[in-house]
Amino acid sequence: MVNNSLEPIQASLGMRLAVLHRTVFNYGMPVTNSVNTLHLEPRTFPYQKTISSLIRVIPATRMRRFTDLFQNITHHFELPGLHTRLEIESRIRVHNLPLDISAASRAASIDGYRDLSISEQIWPYLQESRWVSRHPEVWHQAIDITREFTTIYEQAMALMKWIHQEFTYDPSATQVNTHLEEAFGLRRGVCQDFTHVMLGLCRAVGIPARYASGYLYNGPRDTLVGAQASHAWAEVYLPAAGWIGFDPTNNTLADERYVKIAVGRDYEDVAPVRGSYLGSGHCRMEVTVEVEKI
């Protein structure tokens, strides 16, 4: 069990959100040697402060907490004994500040990436990764979409809008291991696929882009897609502003409605729950996500 609390911060600005994420595995027969890695606790980001975080695992076991290569807070645990059920529950509270992108950052061009002080930070997010490759068709499409725009912000907005207009949200079209190239060809998928496509388009034209995973508060209007489970969006590095989220699933910037948990090159680096075990191949997984304003 992990409990990480910070002093409450002024609530006059932004939004406070509470998230419950419960994952339950029910196995057809007793299993053993379960090994799991979690990305469920957020670190503090520029527009997001963690108020509290609690992770509970049943059967009870000791967890190791550490930061990974991308500075994500990571938990690891093992269950060597026999068990027929595994429950992982995360409860977090965050305070999100309003998104503020300066005029200078919105006006920055790709020449801003020549600054050596940021080159090491952005380099991994210009390269290929497991689920995001350099594909000729993606490159040609990215050139066509961005050719009329001169600033990074305008280009990222155009790429986000194109995906939102051209792709259909269809949970039955893809799986968790669907590659960018397949999703690009289908023009269908879920937030994970939309995000991988945007990463590929951005990187193709020299814009550093990384994968962000977390949650989305849909609010009383219930107009956004992806709030029923873990959500994903792309983050683009804007000079002077840093990493700013662009959500192609909803065609909107990732503002105070978004709870960010982890970042990486693609989904491979940020999966909320990843594990393996020995035993029955019959496993039923149930996931519950609730995001509330507090």
Among 266, 226, 10, residue whose Cα is nearest residue 125 = 266
Domain with CATH 2.60.40.2250 in the chain: 2-96+271-293
Using CA atoms, how far apart are residues 239 and 242, in angstroms rounded to an integer?
Answer: 6
Sorted by sequence, the CB contacts under 8 Å of residue 208 that are 6+ apart come out as 113, 122, 123, 125, 126, 202, 236, 237
Q: Does domain 103-269 have CATH number 3.50.50.60?
A: no
Q: Which pair of structure tokens corresponds to residue 222?
A: 């219930």
Fold of 2-96+271-293: Immunoglobulin-like (2.60.40)
Domain with CATH 3.10.620.30 in the chain: 103-269
pLDDT at 234: 98
Q: Which residues pair with 213 in a beta bridge?
A: 232, 262
Q: What is the pTM of this model?
A: 0.92
In tens digits, what is the pLDDT along the chain, a chain of 294 residues?
444 444 443 445 899 999 999 999 999 999 999 999 999 999 999 999 999 999 999 999 999 999 999 999 999 999 999 999 999 999 999 999 999 999 999 999 999 898 878 888 999 999 999 999 999 999 999 999 999 999 999 999 999 999 999 999 999 999 999 999 999 999 999 999 999 999 999 999 999 999 999 999 987 766 788 777 899 999 999 998 999 999 999 999 999 999 999 999 999 999 999 999 999 778 999 999 999 999
pLDDT at 117: 83
Q: Which pair of structure tokens corresponds to residue 199?
A: 């990463």
pLDDT at 5: 42
pLDDT at 12: 58
